[in-house]
């Protein structure tokens, strides 16, 4: 390949709006980190236009509500989010002309709230101590007080439905006639695993679906059911929850959308992962593969690597990559990388006659 000049021909179509570019994300082989004899692929959801898997559900929530009449022209949309769903909703609402208000716990990264504001949304921060249920309850209160449309990503059927009709179908198409042994995914709302399991259990029953969650917030592993209120909403924090660094994964309750996969055995194994291990693999993916993903992507890949290390030769694993590493610049993921030059970089700078700084 080194002697070949790459060429491109365009996609063969013109897009009517940014929303038409959601989905059809690429599956990419891991070349340098995978153990010998085992093939690992990642499904790069950061190729979505707003750079995360949540673009899918954001678009379907709005369009399903438009079809049903639940969302009226010009009505304000409100939702609680750790960031990616809010960014996806901000993109969709900007294109379709809906005002958007997002509620978000103040503990999530500042770049997320800035991105939403740049896309035209209003961001209401809730106290860190109130965790995910705090931002959830604030969104419900705002919807009830002002008559806004509540997106309800944690309960709506539109969530898993879009993964059934797009994400799962893409995987079937990309692996048609090809071996696939494992798919690894975490959960935020649970839409990905619930949607994938509907299709893969029927079309590719030999594929094992591996679910993962933070080791110190192992809600599903605890076996303790989630208390629920009206409309399947969480009735308070789950007792097994502790704050964890894997943003976008595992709020302080078990979402109703995920409950489908739990009740119908939509996964084959559950492997918790420490956040620090996920960050380490996210950094390795960037430095060794050129794949820039966030903490959730690194954590999913960490579980894929655990499986790969024990797998038989020839095993094929697909790891979901939910978002881009650029969502985490202000978080511990980037702490090892200083803004200023380190000693080695300074030595390189001083190694030529043109060195002059300060």
Q: Supply the residues annotated as catalytic.
A: 54, 296
Residue 216 tokens, joined: 């110190």
How far is the CA of 43 from the CAs of 24, 68, 305, in angstroms? 10, 31, 15
Nearest to 279 by CA among 190, 214, 209, 222: 214
**Rounded distance, CA 104 to CA 98, Å?**
19
- The answer to whether residues 145 and 118 touch, using CB atoms and an 8 Å cutoff, is no
DSSP string over 254-287: --HHHHHHHHTT--SEE--B-HHHHHHHHHHIII
- The answer to whether residues 106 and 203 touch, using CB atoms and an 8 Å cutoff, is no
């Amino acid at each position: 390949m080194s002697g070949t000049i790459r060429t491109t021909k365009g996609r063969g179509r013109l897009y009517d709006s940014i929303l038409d570019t959601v989905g059809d994300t690429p599956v990419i082989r891991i070349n340098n980190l995978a153990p010998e004899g085992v093939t690992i692929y990642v499904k790069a959801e950061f190729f979505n236009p707003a750079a995360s898997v949540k673009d899918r559900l954001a678009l379907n929530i709005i369009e399903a509500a438009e079809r049903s009449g639940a969302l009226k022209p010009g009505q304000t949309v409100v939702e609680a989010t750790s960031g990616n769903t809010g960014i996806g909703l901000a993109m969709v609402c900007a294109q379709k002309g809906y005002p958007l208000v997002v509620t978000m716990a103040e503990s999530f990264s500042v770049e997320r709230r800035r991105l939403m504001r740049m896309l035209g949304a209003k961001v209401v921060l809730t106290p860190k101590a109130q965790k995910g249920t705090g931002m959830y309850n604030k969104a419900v209160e705002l919807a009830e007080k002002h008559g806004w449309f509540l997106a309800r990503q944690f309960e709506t059927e539109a969530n898993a439905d879009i993964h059934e009709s797009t994400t799962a179908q893409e995987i079937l198409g990309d692996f048609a006639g090809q071996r696939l042994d494992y798919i690894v995914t975490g959960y935020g709302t649970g839409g990905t695993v619930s949607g994938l399991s509907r299709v893969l259990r029927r079309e590719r029953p030999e594929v094992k679906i591996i679910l993962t969650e933070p080791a110190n917030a192992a809600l599903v592993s605890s076996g303790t059911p989630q208390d629920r209120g009206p409309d399947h909403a969480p009735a308070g924090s789950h007792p097994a929850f502790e704050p964890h660094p894997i943003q976008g994964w595992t709020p302080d309750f078990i979402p109703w959308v995920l409950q489908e996969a739990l009740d119908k055995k939509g996964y084959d194994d559950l492997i918790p992962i420490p956040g620090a291990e996920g960050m380490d693999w996210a950094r390795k993916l960037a430095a060794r593969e050129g794949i820039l993903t966030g903490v959730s992507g690194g954590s999913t890949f960490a579980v894929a690597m655990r499986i790969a290390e024990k797998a038989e030769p020839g095993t094929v694993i697909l790891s979901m990559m939910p978002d881009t590493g650029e969502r985490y610049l202000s978080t511990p993921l980037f702490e090892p990388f200083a803004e200023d030059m380190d000693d080695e970089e300074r030595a390189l700078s001083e190694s030529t006659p043109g060195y002059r700084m300060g």
